[in-house]
Structure 1
Amino acid sequence: MTDPHQRLQSALDALDVAFAPRAQLPISVGGCTHCYGEEDLSALAGPVHQIPDDLVRHVAHEVPSHWDDFPGLYRKVTPRIVRLLIADRLLSDAVASQFRTAGWRAWPAPERTALEHVWQAWWRSALHSHPSTGDVTRVLETLGTVTGTLAPWLTAWARTRTQAADLHLSDALDWWLIEDELADLHFGFYNEVHATPELLPWLLSLEDGRIGAAHLREIQRISHG
């Protein structure tokens, strides 16, 4: 199967399978009773597929201190959160930072691997469609924040020589060059990832013609600033 969108759907299905034992397992959920009533906490403690979308969105964005066991709850609801994230129905920078806080890299291998496959398939799917669901700069910010590095995502972008990938690059530069944002660009809700040290050299290393002349002049100016 080579179609990027089919690969993404397959990766999401595999994510459901990897998290199925946890998703169906009732757990004790304690949280801020000022913000969440007993009905909410009861729903979160039950099967994941029965949790209302609005409540999943609250969990996806809520500060960890609102929950007695934030990593456990986030891990349980991960398949639902990821599907909403890819559908562009969540604040991507906040969710990316939440995954870091939840320590997803330390989760059991089947869950961690399934998530890694989704991240890769999501990026590939985004690069092969223009326009895509969700702005490509937000997808890159999410992936860079979640994994702590831009390197694999930028490498894949450089190797993807499609019209869609090039259009995304032009769109991204339109955004990153506003008021010289590229000179000191940070990703993540808490600005955890300093993107400029990886992003600027990568842009300058791209093949001739990949970046328009006007954009390239601005990138070179910033790099010598």
Structure 2
Amino acid sequence: MHLADHPARRRLSAALDNLSVTFHGLTAHPDEHNCDCHWGSSEELSLLKTPDVELEPDLLRRTWRATDWSDHAAVLRRILPQFARVLVAGQAEPLFGLEEAGYSFARGRWERWPDDHADPVRKFLHAWWEQSLTDPDAAVPAHQVFAMCAEASGTLGPWLADWEKQTGHLSNRRLAEAAAEWEYELLGDSLPWRVCWYEHDEEEMRAELVAWLLGHAAVRLRESDAPADLQHRIRLLGLTGGDRWTDPHWPGHRY
């Protein structure tokens, strides 16, 4: 099968096209403003009030990262078609992690939008997440897409459910890669990404991720012959205090 025929890639392409159709012609609020010194010029601001004009990459980055728009939802709708394609291409360039992009989605409260606006966003996120798990040419590592989707939605459940449905070799490899990225922070009882939005419960997310790794993921890691030391580090998440630190397979992490 040619990569162009990859089903997840076709689904993602359709979701991106749907965003472009859905948010075509939308702009920031006419009275929207921002600081000339810290965000950008009045000429740049006027572009956000002009529909369908492609933004220069640095302007797009400053726009989605800004936290002080008076109507962030309108700004997000204005930039979403371009923003989504930049995300998928791995060109968003967040300062810390891709969860920052999820924070921008959360600030826009997209899940409260009318269905004809919220559904295309939801379909895009799920399509991108599936593509990151199943497309060998995905531009963004799956664990980063996962963190972004978690921060965008404030929940892990839908994304973990999608992962459980993807049981192929590549998805299993993505699981091992994610577990390897996450184990250090999780063994220190921290979530492996920054929770930026105040409405999201970091401890609840951490507990849900640990429970999933100890249950569903541990079985998959074992059945897919993931490295033994990685399997032990995930097993250690089920231990606490001295039982964890004195286990013969404790990796010697210092916090």
In the superposition, the TM-score normalised over structure 1's length comes to: 0.88
Structure with the higher helix share, 1 or 2:
1
Partners of 2:139 and 2:103 lie apart in 1 by 20
> Is the Cα–Cα contact under 8 Å of residues 30 and 49 in structure 2 kept in the other structure?
yes
Partners of 2:45 and 2:148 lie apart in 1 by 28
Structure whose CA Rg is larger: 2
Q: Structure 1 residues 72, 127: closer, same or farther in 2, change over 3 A?
A: same
Matches within 5 A, 1:33-112: 33-35=36-38, 36-62=40-66, 64-65=67-68, 67-90=69-92, 91=94, 92-112=98-118
| 1:157 aligned residue | 163
Give 3-state SS (helix, strand or coil) of 2:140's partner. coil
Give 3-state SS (helix, strand or coil) of 1:20's partner. coil
Partners of 1:137 and 1:50 lie apart in 2 by 29
Partners of 1:26 and 1:97 lie apart in 2 by 20
Q: Aligned to 2:133, which of 109, 127, 135?
A: 127
Per-residue deviation at 1:15? Answer: 1.0
TM-align CA RMSD: 2.3
Q: What is the number of equivalent residue pairs in this alignment?
A: 222
Is 1:204 the counterpart of 2:219? The answer is no
Give 3-state SS (helix, strand or coil) of 1:223's partner. coil
Identical residues among aligned pairs (%): 23
Per-residue deviation at 1:128? Answer: 0.5
Partners of 1:53 and 1:154 lie apart in 2 by 32
| 2:248 aligned residue | none
Per-residue deviation at 1:134? Answer: 0.9
| 2:24 aligned residue | 20
Deviations 1:183-204 (A, max 9, x none): 3215445274533211111122
| 1:219 aligned residue | 234
Which of 47-56 and 36-45 deviates more? 47-56
Q: Aligned to 2:33, which of 30, 46, 55?
A: 30
Per-residue deviation at 1:124? Answer: 1.0
Deviations 1:52-93 (A, max 9, x none): 23211110112x22x343332222212221211121112221
In the superposition, the TM-score normalised over structure 2's length comes to: 0.78
> Is the Cα–Cα contact under 8 Å of residues 8 and 134 in structure 2 kept in the other structure?
yes
Partners of 1:193 and 1:136 lie apart in 2 by 22
> Is the Cα–Cα contact under 8 Å of residues 156 and 209 in structure 2 kept in the other structure?
yes
Q: Structure 1 residues 215, 186: closer, same or farther in 2, change over 3 A?
A: closer
